[in-house]
Amino acid sequence: MTGPAIGKLGLWSMEMRFGDKAQSSAAAAELDRLGYGALWIPGGIDDGAPADVERLLAATSRMTIATGILNIWKHDPQELAAWFLALPHEWRTRTLLGLGISHGPLIGEAWNKPLEMTRNFLDRLDAAGMPRENLCLAALGPKMVALAAERTRGAHPYLVMPAHTRQARHILGAAALLAPEQGVVLEADPDAARALAAGALEHYRLLPNYRNNWLRLGFTEAEIEGLDDRLLDALFVIGGVGAAAQRVAEHLAAGADHVCLQVIAGPRGGNFDDLLPQWRALAAVMV
């Protein structure tokens, strides 16, 4: 299944959506010139990501703008499809919508039967004319990974390591897109780097979807609860640009088509003065 071109390397950035809009748009234009294949932005907490997708499409001319992810509880599928189909043709060819079921603790009692809910949402998108090649799914467990290949262009796993990439590729088959996110901490001191990684992971370790995935991958409850170094080193690149390049190579060798790097500059995110030099340094080595 073809779709928007995303290349082998992208960036995942919360700041590009929730930071200063003017700075974000200017940074996106520079990332486009640097050669990144895709820019991934979050959408999980509200319904406002489509407006930011449009803003970033307007700021760029080449790279794909992707969502990682749109929370299906926050969007009406008919309205989402109508929004996409109303975009200019050139923008539609650069838009990839990652969709996800979110998490039970965040949604409450209504969150149940995630596969059924996701299938229903995809059915309604199909009926509204949304092209499957412009969709992918946030997928960790085997059944959701399989659904991603069956009903969309492929899978966008978050907070994973090359071992998961290898398993996901086996389930997806050869043709489907596999675009894992990879956290990166470009901090020379290992203790300081792991402290940043632990701060970034603090919220996610409480969510069952992630915990269950890490347990399937061989980590223990104690390692997850204590944010053990073994878990942190598996989920994040701890070190310099060379270490990041090596981890990307491991994902690609394990079956990834594309890796989107998330630079961790602080427990609550970073600012563009901190992030841009790091994004440039990664591009200089890998793009």
Summarised one tens digit per residue, pLDDT across range 224-236 is: 999 999 999 999 9
pLDDT class of 103 with cuts at 50, 70, 90: low
**pLDDT tens-digit series, residues 132-177:** 999 999 999 999 999 999 999 999 999 999 999 999 999 999 999 9
Q: Which tokens is 170 given?
A: 């086996």
Backbone torsions φ then ψ of 103, nearest 5 degrees: -140, 140
pLDDT for 246 equals 98
Tell me how far apart the alpha carbons of residues 20 and 32 are, in angstroms, rounded to a whole number.
18
Q: Is the peptide bond before 224 cis (omega within 30 degrees of 0)?
A: no
Would you call 160 helix, strand, or coil by DSSP? coil
Residue for token pair 């412009």:
134
pLDDT for 10 equals 98
pLDDT for 265 equals 86
Domain assignments of the chain as residue spans, ordered by start: 9-286
Tell me how far apart the alpha carbons of residues 128 and 107 are, in angstroms, rounded to a whole number.
25
pLDDT for 113 equals 86
CB 114 within 8 A of CB 144: yes
pLDDT for 188 equals 87
What is the CATH number that goes with domain 9-286?
A: 3.20.20.30
Global confidence as pTM: 0.96
pLDDT for 268 equals 63
Long-range contacts made by residues 16-21, C-beta under 8 angstroms, separation at least 24? 16/41, 16/52, 16/56, 17/41, 17/42, 17/43, 17/49, 17/52, 18/42, 18/269, 19/269, 19/271, 19/272, 20/272, 21/55
